[in-house]
Amino acid sequence: MIEHILGKELQRTMEKVLVLDFGGQYNQLIARRVRECNVYCEVWPYTKTLEEIKAYEPMGIIFTGGPNSVYEETSPHYEKAIFDMGVPILGICYGSQLMAYTLGGEVKTAPVSEYGHTDVEVDTSDVLFEGVSEKTVCWMSHTDYIAKAPEGFKVTAHTPVCPVAAMSNPERKLYATQFHPEVVHTKEGMQMLKNFVMKVCGCHGDWKMDSFVETTIKALREKIGDGKVLCALSGGVDSSVAAVLLSKAVGKQLTCVFVDHGLLRKNEGDEVEAVFGPEGPYELNFIRVNAQERYYAKLKGVTEPEEKRKIIGEEFIRVFEEEARKIGAVDFLVQGTIYPDVIESGLGKSAVIKSHHNVGGLPDVVNFKEIIEPLRMLFKDEVRKAGLELGIPENLVFRQPFPGPGLGIRIIGEVTAEKVRIVQDADCIYREEIAKAGVDKGLGQYFAALTNMRSVGVMGDFRTYDYAVVLRAVCTSDFMTAESAQIPWEVLNKVTNRIVNEVKGVNRVLYDCTGKPPATIEFE
């Protein structure tokens, strides 16, 4: 929780909305939408006690969706007393059914399941739907439905096959929607959530990056005192913002160790050193470790994605331990972990999607007093806002996201120096042409990856049997969901021609058209 960075006093005074996680796929997206209202929001598992929730003092609570049926004994439930706290509650999908079921309504298997874009008629006199069209498009995803609302609730929305698409009990400040207002497919969903957060919960919107930066620097300075700090610097947006926060907090007490594991983008090692090295603008100590051969040796013969991540993560920490011993006692290790890393590493109740070397991939024994993760509760766009507040140059703040394990997870199968060269060269061409064409501004992330597929081709008069490169580009604001970008064909054609002609070992280029979900943004 945020108290490990910002302190309990700030938690006590700031506006907070709590998302209670019942296992749905959009849980983090709900939190992201609440933060778009400039209100701080965290996601907690439904296993948290009522006493813990009361102690947190949220101004509102949101129940998420989930894959279960509330009438089954093994399904997640919550004690009825939560509805008597006087704190506004919004139930979404499974959360709406849980509210209805717990308070005496009826939940049954729906005669007709609803999935996808659905026309919903809403009661615009209800506070949740103020400013919303009487008939609006919403995203449905359910096989159960509320057959009868509990006593004291009024039905505020319906569809031809869903009699209780939304319900409310304004006196008790309880609201529920069968559809998902948090996803972009619900056209006016943001207005609904804003109505709940601002009008029902009474929040004003005081969660701003300028206050976060100022408070975090102060909290870090107090926490660290005269201790020595070692920062895991990758040169990406997250670790860069974390490093500058620490630099402003403790200056030369900070040593940034940049591990060039040989899995970076082309020329990236030199670029990182130019920004954070002795000639750069920041007050800190900078050490570059060239560990390429060490990593390639460890990854030899390894093909399983999670094993690669764990190897890269453990070796990463071991390098830090070695550097720490060289510079003497180190009290704190700083990492650029952000909120999606925490959730997707399975540290909440949601399913494990992948482990990250800076979260789920940490070895059991780390030889440091304590780990500090100042960005742990921020989403990617919030990290960028913090970077701008800190005065970090825009070209660094808006740099392409890059995973901790680097190209190790953009190379399918075994990682070798030759494969790294191929994907570096192909990715460099792709990014160069995307920028030249001016289509980079609307993209959330784009990169080239190397498949493990080899196929027959013809170049000149010769038969080839070489690798296929995959190009990936997505549009996203939060990195929790994403849509494949529609790159102009002439751009893709130019990129393909350049890669096939300039990158030795490649004779085929593919484009990935898959969104998230069902895919992840990265390949492994």
User: Are residue 120 and residue 259 in the same domain, yes or no?
Assistant: no
Residue 114 annotated in active site:
no
User: Are residue 369 and residue 461 in the same domain, yes or no?
Assistant: no
Q: Domain of 363: which CATH number?
A: 3.40.50.620
What's the pLDDT tens digit per position in 431-488? Answer: 999 999 999 888 989 999 999 999 898 876 678 889 999 999 999 876 777 899 999 9
Side chain identity, residue 131: G
- Whether the Cβ atoms of residue 308 and residue 298 lie closer than 8 Å to each other: no
User: Are residue 110 and residue 180 in the same domain, yes or no?
Assistant: yes
User: What Rg value do the Cα atoms of the chain yield, rounded?
Assistant: 25
Q: State the residue range of the domain holding 126.
A: 3-200
Side chain identity, residue 329: A
For residue 232, tell me if it sits in a domain: yes
Assess whether the previous peptide bond of 518 is cis (omega < 30° from 0). yes
Distance CA 247, CA 234 (A): 15
Specify the pLDDT at position 367: 52
Specify the pLDDT at position 365: 42
User: Are residue 226 and residue 179 in the same domain, yes or no?
Assistant: no
For residue 31, tell me if it sits in a domain: yes
Check 142, 180, 261, 357 and give the catalytic one. Answer: 180
Q: Is the pLDDT of residue 497 over 60?
A: yes
Look at residues 397, 428, 447 and tell me which one is the last residue of a structural domain.
397
User: Are residue 461 and residue 329 in the same domain, yes or no?
Assistant: no
For residue 36, tell me if it sits in a domain: yes
Residue 180 annotated in active site:
yes
User: Are residue 251 and residue 306 in the same domain, yes or no?
Assistant: yes
Specify the pLDDT at position 6: 46
For residue 520, tell me if it sits in a domain: no
Average pLDDT, the chain: 88
The total of structural domains in the chain comes to 3
Flag whether the pTM goes above 0.75: no
For residue 517, tell me if it sits in a domain: no
Specify the pLDDT at position 354: 39
What's the pLDDT tens digit per position in 203-257? Answer: 999 888 888 898 899 999 999 999 999 888 888 889 899 999 999 999 999 999 8
User: Are residue 424 and residue 347 in the same domain, yes or no?
Assistant: no
Check 15, 36, 182, 344 and give the catalytic one. Answer: 182
Crossing angle of helices 292-299 and 305-327, rounded to 10°? 140
The four Cα atoms 363, 366, 371, 373 give a dihedral, to 10 degrees, of -30
For residue 404, tell me if it sits in a domain: no
User: Are residue 234 and residue 358 in the same domain, yes or no?
Assistant: yes
3-state secondary structure of 183: coil
Specify the pLDDT at position 143: 87
User: Are residue 385 and residue 442 in the same domain, yes or no?
Assistant: no
User: Are residue 346 and residue 432 in the same domain, yes or no?
Assistant: no
Residue 261 annotated in active site:
no
User: Are residue 380 and residue 422 in the same domain, yes or no?
Assistant: no
For residue 106, tell me if it sits in a domain: yes
Q: Domain of 420: which CATH number?
A: 3.30.300.10
Q: Are strands 89-92 and 60-63 parallel, antiparallel or unpaired?
A: parallel
Check 37, 93, 162, 201 and give the catalytic one. Answer: 93
User: Are residue 415 and residue 506 in the same domain, yes or no?
Assistant: yes
Look at residues 366, 397, 428 and tell me which one is the last residue of a structural domain.
397
Q: Domain of 182: which CATH number?
A: 3.40.50.880
For residue 268, tell me if it sits in a domain: yes
Specify the pLDDT at position 376: 87
How many residues appear in the chain? 524
Specify the pLDDT at position 53: 96
- Whether the Cβ atoms of residue 230 and residue 376 lie closer than 8 Å to each other: no
Q: Is the pLDDT of residue 265 over 50?
A: yes
What's the pLDDT tens digit per position in 319-366? Answer: 877 887 787 777 888 888 887 777 655 544 433 333 444 444 444 444
The alpha carbon dihedral of 447, 450, 455, 459 has a sign of positive
Specify the pLDDT at position 12: 53
Specify the pLDDT at position 403: 83
Look at residues 200, 233, 260 and tell me which one is the last residue of a structural domain.
200
